[in-house]
Amino acid sequence: MRKASIERKTTETRIRASVDLDGDGRYTVRTGIGFLDHMLEQLSRHSLIDLEIEAEGDTHIDFHHTTEDSAITIGQAVAAALGERKGIARYGSALVPMDETLTRVALDLSSRPYLVWKVDFPRDKVGDMDTELFKEWFHAFAQASGATLHVETLYGDNSHHIVESAFKALARALRQAVEIDPRKADAVPSTKGTLGGSL
């Protein structure tokens, strides 16, 4: 059963997240940030990873801590559910259009966290949310899940579409990477025999 639950409590946030990597994209998302909820629902639906997350944060100050800590908690839950990462496809990629926008995501569940972020926004906010926070979310998720993650918006004019295409592309890439490879279900996909630490 590739499931995990993580709780994170700090002076700034209290978050509980649960994932099921072999789900069907069901979600219950309550972060207190409407647009972030919308993106996490997209992440679940298009990755087919069941996601439950409840967050309380200092959103009266700004959305930074809740945004970053939600990514850390979800990433840690994904890493825990993957365990030794035995049998996974490991790599995933997706090219996702949304109206005028096209975003590409490639990832490697290597346990070597790294983010390449080539995304520009024409506006500083989507609704009440600062667009700069989305880089923070993807960075925190890559670090916590142990993913090498490349995100690039090839073109786009609408900030909402840019963000949403990035989350949907991440979802589709994750869906590929966490799948069990039936040809090597008993083996870690690395010549070193481990996906823990450096490869």
**Structure letter (DSSP) for residue 131:** T
**197 inside domain:** no
Question: pLDDT by residue (tens digit) across 2-33?
Answer: 999 999 999 999 999 999 999 999 999 999 99
- Compute the chain's Rg from CA coordinates: 16
pLDDT band at 1 (very low <50, low <70, confident <90, very high): confident
**81 inside domain:** yes
Q: Quick one: what percent of the chain has pLDDT higher than 70? A: 93
**188 inside domain:** no
Structure tokens that stand for 139 in this block: 């960075």
**Can you give the residue range of the structural domain that contains 63?**
3-178
**124 inside domain:** yes
**159 inside domain:** yes
From CA 119, how far away is CA 97, in angstroms rounded?
A: 14
Beta strands at 129-130 and 148-155: parallel, antiparallel or unpaired? unpaired
Question: pLDDT by residue (tens digit) across 92-128?
Answer: 999 999 999 999 999 999 999 999 999 999 999 998 9
**190 inside domain:** no
- The structural domain count of the chain equals 1
- Residue 26 belongs to domain with CATH number: 3.30.230.40
